[in-house]
Structure formats: C-alpha cells, structure tokens
Structure 1
Amino acid sequence: MTKISIEVCIISARGLGRSTSLLKPQWFAVGWIDPNSKYCTKIYSSGNPNPTWKTKFLFDVDDRSSNLQDLSLTIEIHKREPIFLRDKLHGTANIMLKEFLVKFLKETDTFRTGLEEVGSFQLRKQNSGRPQGFVDISVRISKERDGVSSHSGRNGFHSTDRRTKIALAIEDSLVLSYPTQSQP
C-alpha cells in the first residue's frame, strides 16, 4: 500500500465584487476534502475584491482506496463585516480531484517528484448557483515522503475542534472560532 500526498494551496480569489457600503469587506476561505477536517486562511482585510492568501494544506490518501474516484475539494469564500464581525458565505467551488489523481497514477514514473497543476474554478452562490467570481488553487500530488504529516501552510491552520469549530487568525494576533455547518 502506497500513500499519496495531496497538497492544496488556496492562492487567491478574483471578481468577488465591490462593496456597496463604505466599509471594506474582509475575506477568508475555508477548504476541505474531509468535512471533519477543515482548513482556513487568514482574514484578508484590505477590502480589495481580489484577496490573496497562498495558504497550503496537506492530506494523505491510500492509492488503493475505493473512494479515490469520488474525492472532491470544497472551497468556500466568506465575506466578513468589519464592525459587527458577521460572516456571510459568498460562494462555493467544488473541485473533483479525479482528473488530477488519474493523471498522476497514469504517469507516476514520469512525475517522480510529483504532479502540480494550477487552476481557476468558478465560485457559485449556494442556493441559486449564480456565478460569484473565481478561486485560484494549485494541487500538488506526490508519493508520501517520510516525516511528512498533515499540516497547514504558514498562512492558515488546522481546526482544533473538528466537530464544531474552525480557528481563524486575524493579522497574526487574535484567534476566533468559526462554527461549521452540520453535515446531514
């Protein structure tokens, strides 16, 4: 049994729209493959509708796993009001990892150091499916290396309470808890 490491980097988002108020919106992203293990970016507080995070997270899968074809990455972009600190889901992108995994498994000998691809994916409003901008990500797939364990990148971190909360960092100081939605 070989383990495959999948590293996802949430690079940025584009076209999130201008704010109608005088207050600058704050943006953050939440990403996961397993809903019980979510990763979160730092809060981008400049008010620009094109936030940049460059947050990485890593997870391992067994290459003989039966659900390899069904693995999907979910990225949610959230908008936070700067005064009342209320969060609103702006848009969601669901990315099937099947095409990345198939390409890696077919050409494992060619990609000795791994396979990396960068792409932009459409964000959609949850209820209407209306386009809400784009999220840019990179996916790197490689065979598991010794000494590598699941972690988050330097600009984000792993949730500590997997069932109820996600940790958010604001400008390297304050840490807030972000509640997750219950899964049916």
Structure 2
Amino acid sequence: MEAPDEEAGLGLPEGERLLEVTIISAQGLKPPSGLRRRLQAYAVAWVDTAHRLQTQPDRSGGPDPAWHERFLFRVHEAALAEDSRAAVTVEIYASPNGAWHIGGDSLIGSARFLLGDNCLLSRPVGSPAMFAVGVRRPSGRVHGLLNVAASLVAAPPSPAASHALSFSPAVSLSGLPPAVAISSLSTAPISGRVLRVLNRAHPTPPPSPKVLTPKKLQASVKPNNKRCQRSGGGG
C-alpha cells in the first residue's frame, strides 16, 4: 500500500507514514501513595524512546484526567503490519505542582498498544480507531483505563507541523497554529465508566457506556485479536 502523494511532498523517506495519536483521557487512575495534593496527571508518549512527547497536566485534577492532545509520529509502514511488534507506549505521571518535569514526578502507570492491532493500514486515511487500554501500575496490576485514538494521516494539519516534522520524527500539535479542530474527539471523563469505542469509523463515544466492576474492568482490556481486512480500494 503506497503512501499518499501528500506525504511525498513532505520529503518523508520512502516507506514512512504519518501516524496521529490523540491522548484523549484516562479513567479510574490510582494516585501514587504519599501524594498530598489533588492529583494532576500528565502523559508521556512515544514510539521511539528517544523521541518522547508530553501532554500538559490535567488542570481539573482527580483520577479521571482529560487531555485531548494530538501527537504526530513518523513511522515505517512495516511497523503498522499485523505481525509487527512496534507499539505506542504511554506513561502517566502525577504532577503535584501542576507542571511536568520528567524524572521528578511519580509514575502512576503505563499503557501500551501494538500498532498492528488496530488495522490502521486497512482504514481510510484520516479515519481514527478509538479504543481503551489498561493502565498498568508499577506493581504490575491493571488499574484504570487510557482512552486514545490513532489514525494515519495524509499530511500534517498545518505548515508549522510540517516544518517541525522535518526536524523531528515526533511532534506535538499543542502550541502550533491549529488547522484542524479536535472538538469531535472531546470526551469528558465519566467517573466509573469506560470509553470503549473499538475500531469505529467515526470518533463518537457510545451513547451509554457500560459501568464495569473490577473483574469486568480487567476483562475489557484484553488484546484485540481480530485480523485486519483490507478495504476494497486498498492495494
């Protein structure tokens, strides 16, 4: 499957694609022990550990943070194949003073999803897959969910983003001149409920999310083993 012509104009090496990941929100996080102020969480995401991107801290505070921040990653098309082990890793940290500084804040937990599990090569360009990933605490126990969206995009949403990508394989769209609104991906966190929109063509949450018990919560984060199917127009 060839990359869209728009990507060629960005000067991307042959075989590279643009992956957009939206860190939407998290639910049911457990604050680190010893935290004396209201939890203000932020997320750090990467495909390549050498190029990490951070969200701003959630200003409202509490165990259900919302960020709605979009990241762009340049990835090899082979990383998107079903049998690929390439993944997006997200770590969530507690920021007691309302500002992030990696290395000094307490790790709440981490989440990881394989790029090949979401059939991105089979989806129309710009059509995000939305899903929830279990947040694994440092102890190894899953506690809470991270809501994310991922899609391949034909081109960066603004000249500023395109310029930034020419210098780095990972770019945050926060602070850059906006060209694409993200209000359609906004999903306010609902205490005790779970956003579980799996591989939907439109970024719209279900009308009535299920309320999960702790046992059902762990069952809901099992990996998606459904095989991808190429769309009729794909090559």
TM-score (norm 2): 0.54
Unaligned ranges ≥5, structure 2:
1-13, 177-235
**Mapping for residues 35-184 of structure 1, pairs under 5 Å:** 35-64=49-78, 69-82=84-97, 87-100=105-118, 103-105=119-121, 107=122, 111=124, 113-126=125-138, 128-144=139-155, 148=162, 149=165, 150-154=170-174
2:128 is paired with a residue of what secondary structure? strand
What one-letter code is carried by the residue in structure 1 that aligns with 2:120? Answer: F
CA–CA distance in structure 1, aligned partners of residues 90 and 52 of structure 2:
10
Kept in 2: contact 1:53–1:155 (CA 8 A): no
After TM superposition, give the deviation of residue 98 of structure 1 in Å: 1.1
Q: Which has the higher contact order (CA 8 A, sep 6+)?
A: 1
Aligned equivalent of 1:172: none
After TM superposition, give the deviation of residue 141 of structure 1 in Å: 1.4
CA–CA distance in structure 2, aligned partners of residues 29 and 50 of structure 1:
13
Instruction: Give the percent of matched residue pairs that are identical in Structure 1 and Structure 2.
Output: 26
> Could you say what the CA RMSD is over the residues aligned between the two structures, in angstroms?
3.1
Kept in 2: contact 1:77–1:92 (CA 8 A): yes
CA–CA distance in structure 1, aligned partners of residues 39 and 126 of structure 2:
37
CA–CA distance in structure 1, aligned partners of residues 35 and 79 of structure 2:
49
Aligned residues: 148
Cα distance change on mapping 1:70 and 1:18 into 2, 3 Å:
closer
CA–CA distance in structure 2, aligned partners of residues 35 and 138 of structure 1:
20
What one-letter code is carried by the residue in structure 1 that aligns with 2:130? Answer: V
Kept in 2: contact 1:27–1:80 (CA 8 A): yes
Kept in 1: contact 2:30–2:108 (CA 8 A): no
Cα distance change on mapping 1:51 and 1:145 into 2, 3 Å:
closer
CA–CA distance in structure 1, aligned partners of residues 171 and 21 of structure 2:
11
Kept in 2: contact 1:3–1:144 (CA 8 A): no
Cα distance change on mapping 1:70 and 1:47 into 2, 3 Å:
same
Higher strand share: 1
Higher helix share: 2
Aligned equivalent of 1:164: none
After TM superposition, give the deviation of residue 72 of structure 1 in Å: 0.5
After TM superposition, give the deviation of residue 151 of structure 1 in Å: 2.4
After TM superposition, give the deviation of residue 31 of structure 1 in Å: 0.6
Unaligned ranges ≥5, structure 1:
157-184
TM-score (norm 1): 0.67
After TM superposition, give the deviation of residue 12 of structure 1 in Å: 0.5
2:84 is paired with a residue of what secondary structure? helix
Aligned equivalent of 1:176: none
2:120 is paired with a residue of what secondary structure? helix
CA–CA distance in structure 2, aligned partners of residues 65 and 72 of structure 1:
8
CA–CA distance in structure 2, aligned partners of residues 94 and 115 of structure 1:
21
CA–CA distance in structure 2, aligned partners of residues 145 and 25 of structure 1:
33
